[in-house]
Amino acid sequence: MAIICSVGKGIPIYEIEQNRIKDLVQNIFSYSEREVSRLLPVFDNAAIEKRQFVVPQDWFLVEHSFEERNDLYHQNAIHYTLNAMDECLKNTFLSEEVTYEDIDLLAFVSSTGISTPSIDTYLINERPFRENVERMPLWGLGCAGGAIGLSRVYNWLKANPTKVAILINCEICSLTFQKGDQKKSNLIGTALFGDGVSALLLIGEESIYRKSLIKPLPLIKSYSSYTEKDSTNVMGWKIINTGFEVIFSKSIPALVHTIWKNHMQKFLQQEGLSIDIIDAFISHPGGKKVLDAMVEALHISTEKLHYSAEILRDHGNMSSATVQYVLFKWLEKDMKLGTKGVITALGPGFSSEILLLEWDE
């Protein structure tokens, strides 16, 4: 098992309301009047009120090279991850302090920029991690990376039950925006994606810190991974001279009714559980249509997805970091012992990741 003890957030300083982004898009793209009436309602129907970005709105009005974008990614990934980690270690649900020197594993998940050595090495230079801290950089998991990263850290803690891990999800989606790409997938991405960083503190079941839990917290009990064959064209990046061009299929909500529904049903059956036993749905809100499809596919109460909708409204889709913001909301609640939950996210591949949680001491 692995116990989730804290979530810290790195929230960028530039906040833009959805209506303002919609106005910007009309100035950026040379749409005809007919195209405007056909395409721009996606901003109104996204159920997003505001998003945060690492760059001001004027940045989107001009072209940028891949080098410029990636330099900004590198700088901001380090800056906002440090903020998220500091908050994570400061605001734990533990009575005993956990310091950077106590961390045994540093996992770093991202899909929106490139760095070799990976960003986690720069974090080690900025904070007093031990020199023998283990590193786990994971790239290319997209929106599923929040859940898949947790599964990988869970496996590591299962093999090292006395140890402590910190998981970073760092996504700076704004820097991938392509001013010259007028395809509908780019417009949808512009209507949905924001920037955000999360840091999660996890301990193994035999950790010395387990005795200092100040309230019931979620234990990861098990997980399941699924990747659909021949579905690499559903979502992802096409690498072009100016950076990352988004691939975003309109079939994603429909795949919730098939791939995700079947995966969830088989996983719960394998665990001997029914859908009505699950009280906490910690779902990555890919978009309003995805959340609506989840409700319809398994007849889930919209209240169980309330926090997913709230995070989408206030931050947009921050790729892998989004589900951790949702998890933070559930961590703040006082949950009864034995409460069961699932963390679920969909991503490139086309992939589905599900983790089973149970609140325990």
Sign of the dihedral defined by the CA atoms of residues 108, 181, 314, 78, in that order: positive
Overall size of the chain counted in residues: 361
The answer to whether the beta carbons of residues 336 and 358 sit under 8 Å apart is no
CA-wise closest residue to 122 among 111, 108, 132: 108
Q: Which residue has the tokens 């709230």?
A: 310
Residue 5 known to be catalytic:
no
Q: Are 84 and 8 in contact (CB under 8 A)?
A: yes
User: What distance in Å separates the CA atoms of residue 182 and residue 267, rounded to the nearest whole number?
Assistant: 40
Going 187 to 191 to 192 to 194, the CA torsion angle's sign is positive
Distances (CA, A) of 57 to 13, 62, 170, 174, 322: 12, 10, 21, 10, 22
Interatomic CA distance for residues 190 and 36, integer angstroms: 14
Torsion, Cα of 149, 336, 361, 334 (10° steps): 70
Closest CA to 84 of 9, 172, 193: 9
Token couple for 251: 């079939």
- Taking CA 313 as the corner, what is the angle to CA 14 and CA 355, rounded to the nearest 5 degrees? 110
Catalytic residue among 5, 88, 143, 170: 143
Of 304, 8, 23, give the one whose Cα is nearest residue 166. 8
Pick from 360, 354, 310: nearest CA to 335: 360
Which amino acids are annotated catalytic? 143
